[in-house]
């Protein structure tokens, strides 16, 4: 309940921030639009007013002030029907009023203020809300007879439209704000849902300790869901590391049980003897040494496999001449092969260079070569070659040995697994598991092609 309250408060705060920002944007845009609309209304009023002034000037020039009065009286009905509010004023330079008309309802307006705008040039000015009267747009022009004509309109129609628009916007803004909050909350909740899923998964993992839990990710993941995707990858890697640690401990316990038992048996046999001879003591020490070497070899191999599988193995990649590496390995295993009358053949291609960790690659080839000799037939052969194919370097180790049944092709890569036909031969069951781990750590893969009784071919494929 507390977590839901925190999530709700966070959503609400983020929603209010988004809403305020959006409303600020809308208000600023409306203010700009309102300013443009006001300017447009003023320009329209000025255009209408200028046309009216030109018309009044024409009437004046037809017959002076009497003609202007007569024509204007005839025009009043038309003005009334269109609901326009005009005033017309003809004054002398000293402010003496020759002719003056103002609409009803505007008696409070102080028309004396217009005297300050008398000028020999056409003059436009705006007078705002004098004594409660509406805003007036006024044009003052000089006449030829040393008089001034002043015509004004209060822009009531345009101002009324503007005021109605403002009132409508204000009334519409109230439900609009609530809609913005609801919509903003929906969008915010939808946007931060990946974070909520991530937090929910974290709480479940902390509560149950189960690393198998995963963050829910949609098919078309967003940027925030990418965070959950990366978190899932971290969980998978950690789970794999922990699983590897558990398996390693199980395998260590399993692998050490036999040599430790033999180790203990050798010591107990020596101790149980009343008067052990020097030869018996030396033999016991020799057996203990062999068992300790087997234990150390098993531990080192298990550690190498764990490092390679977990991705923390450090590779010292350098240029390696495969022909020279083959020659070095063949020289090492030459005597072992001669004991079983196995012939080792390898290709000579001095130009074949690969970037890899020489020590680790030597481990891979040594394991494959050792198996090829160990499980070979008498007077058999081992053929090693390397070649380029599809921008890859491929290394083939082929033998004429006992082979591996297709049923067991997938099993031979398992840790501690041994084929039935090889159980009578000494071994740890870790060689191929280590080989596969090192090859994958180099970004490559290894392929097995074999049939029982027809030899085996291991193909190591590495990036060039």
d(C-alpha 418, C-alpha 448), whole Å? 15
d(C-alpha 165, C-alpha 31), whole Å? 12
Q: Is the pLDDT of residue 423 over 50?
A: no
Backbone angles phi, psi at 107, to 5 degrees: -70, -25
What does pTM read for this prediction? 0.46
Structural domains in the chain, CATH included, are 2-162 (3.30.450), 223-310 (1.10.287), 317-463 (3.30.565.10)
Q: Mean pLDDT of all residues in the chain?
A: 77
Assign 7 a pLDDT band (cuts: 50, 70, 90): low
State pLDDT tens for residues 57-106: 888 888 888 888 888 777 776 655 445 567 888 888 887 888 888 777 66
32 token code pair? 């700009």
Q: Write down the pLDDT at residue 418.
A: 59
According to DSSP, the β-strands at 381-389 and 343-346 are: parallel
Q: Write down the pLDDT at residue 2.
A: 46
CB-based contacts of 447, cutoff 8 Å, min separation 6: 458, 459, 461
Q: Which residue has the higher pLDDT, 277 or 419?
A: 277
d(C-alpha 160, C-alpha 166), whole Å? 10
State pLDDT tens for residues 336-391: 888 888 898 887 677 788 888 888 888 889 889 988 888 888 889 999 998 888 88
- Dump the DSSP string for 164-233: HHHHHHHHHHHHHHHHHHHHHHHHHHHHSHHHHHHHHHHHHHHHH--TT------SS--HHHHHHHHHHH
Q: Which residue has the higher pLDDT, 294 or 49?
A: 49
Portion of the chain with pLDDT greater than 90, in percent: 3
- Across 32-36, 70-74, 218-222, 381-385, least confident range: 218-222
Residues 431, 434, 440: CA angle, nearest 5 degrees: 140
- Across 7-16, 157-166, 223-232, 405-414, least confident range: 7-16
d(C-alpha 122, C-alpha 99), whole Å? 19
Q: Which residue has the higher pLDDT, 185 or 404?
A: 404
Q: Which residue has the higher pLDDT, 69 or 15?
A: 69
Contact at 8 Å (CB) between 393 and 450? no
What value does the mean pLDDT take over residues 311-336? 83
Which stretch, 109-113, 226-230, 263-267, 396-400, has highest mean pLDDT?
Answer: 396-400
Q: Within 13 Å of residue 53, how many CA atoms lie on the same side as its CB?
A: 24
Q: Which residue has the higher pLDDT, 122 or 199?
A: 122
d(C-alpha 258, C-alpha 383), whole Å? 35
Polymer length in residues for the chain: 464
State pLDDT tens for residues 391-417: 889 999 999 888 888 888 888 877 666
């Amino acid at each position: 309940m507390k977590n839901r309250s925190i999530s709700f408060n966070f959503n609400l705060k983020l929603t209010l921030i988004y809403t305020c920002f959006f409303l600020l944007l809308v208000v600023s845009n409306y203010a700009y639009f309102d300013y443009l609309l006001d300017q447009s209304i003023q320009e329209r009023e000025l255009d209408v007013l200028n046309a009216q002034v030109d018309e009044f000037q024409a009437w004046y020039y037809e017959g002076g002030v009497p003609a202007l009065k007569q024509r204007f009286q005839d025009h009043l009905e038309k003005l009334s029907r269109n609901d326009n509010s005009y005033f017309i004023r003809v004054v002398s330079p000293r402010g003496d009023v020759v002719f003056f008309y103002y609409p009803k309802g505007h008696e409070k307006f102080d028309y004396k203020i217009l005297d300050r705008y008398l000028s020999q040039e056409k003059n436009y000015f705006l007078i705002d809300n004098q004594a409660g009267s509406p805003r007036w747009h006024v044009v003052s022009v000089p006449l030829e007879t040393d008089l001034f004509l002043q015509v004004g309109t209060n822009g009531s129609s345009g101002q009324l439209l503007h005021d109605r628009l403002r009132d409508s916007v204000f009334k519409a803004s109230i439900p609009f704000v609530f809609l913005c909050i609801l919509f903003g909350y929906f969008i915010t909740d939808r946007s931060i849902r990946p974070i909520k899923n991530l937090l929910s998964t974290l709480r479940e993992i902390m509560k149950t300790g189960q690393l198998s839990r995963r963050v829910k990710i949609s098919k078309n993941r967003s940027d925030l869901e990418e965070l959950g995707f990366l978190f899932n990858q971290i969980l998978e890697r950690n789970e794999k590391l922990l699983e590897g640690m558990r398996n390693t401990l199980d395998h260590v316990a399993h692998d050490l049980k036999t040599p430790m038992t033999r180790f203990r048996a050798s010591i107990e046999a020596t101790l149980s003897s009343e008067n052990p001879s020097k030869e018996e003591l030396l033999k016991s020490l020799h057996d203990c040494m062999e068992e300790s070497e087997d234990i150390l070899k098993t531990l080192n191999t298990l550690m190498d496999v764990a490092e390679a599988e977990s991705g923390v193995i450090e590779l010292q990649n350098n240029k390696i001449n495969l022909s020279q590496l083959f020659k070095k390995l063949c020289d090492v295993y030459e005597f072992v092969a001669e004991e079983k009358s196995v012939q080792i053949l390898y290709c000579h291609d001095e130009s074949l260079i690969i970037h890899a960790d020489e020590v680790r690659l030597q481990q891979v080839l040594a394991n494959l070569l050792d198996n090829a000799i160990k499980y070979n037939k008498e007077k058999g052969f081992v053929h090693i070659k390397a070649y380029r194919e599809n921008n890859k370097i491929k290394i083939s180790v082929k033998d004429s040995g006992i082979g591996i049944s297709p049923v067991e092709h997938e099993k031979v890569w398992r840790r501690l697994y041994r084929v039935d036909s090889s159980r009578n031969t000494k071994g740890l069951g870790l060689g191929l598991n280590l080989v596969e781990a090192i090859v994958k750590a180099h970004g490559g893969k290894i392929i097995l092609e074999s049939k029982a009784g027809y030899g085996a071919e291991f193909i190591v494929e590495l990036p060039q």
